[in-house]
Amino acid sequence: AGFPIPNPFLGIKKENANEYEQLSLAKKCALRWMSHHKKMEKLKNTLKHRLHVVSYEALITDTQNQLLRIQQFLNLEKTIPMPNVKEQSLDKWKNELTKQDILDIQDITGYDPEMTI
């Protein structure tokens, strides 16, 4: 393998290192996502008021409010300009992933893609 083990960035632990290369791309991506998700949860608990987490879904569906929250968190005087938001990006995965990809992701994460996290 061309990466250090364990590799928390990729979600590779000593227990799954031997099988990692044989995993589907969807499972590898899901492991990486899970690793980042767990790290974010840990940071939210340890950094509390010094960290502001913005959900991609909230940024797309509630853009103005999220931008206001970011502005307040950063203590900015100037309003953050409204970006061009593409709501269709929220469902892009439905056209890009195969049924097997979705099952592989669910197998790793335990999350139903129809549910928001």
**pLDDT tens-place string over residues 24-69:** 999 999 999 999 999 999 999 999 889 999 999 999 999 999 999 9
CA separation for the pair 4, 87 (Å, rounded): 38
CA separation for the pair 4, 12 (Å, rounded): 9
pTM for the full model?
0.75
Predicted pLDDT of residue 40: 92
- With tokens 């100037």, the residue in question is 78
Closest CA to 100 of 48, 50, 27: 27
Kindly report which listed range (11-20, 66-75, 102-111) carries the lowest average pLDDT score. Answer: 11-20
Q: Under DSSP, is residue 11 helix (H, G, I), strand (E, B) or coil?
A: coil
For 80-113, write each residue's pLDDT tens digit.
999 999 988 888 888 889 999 999 999 999 987 7
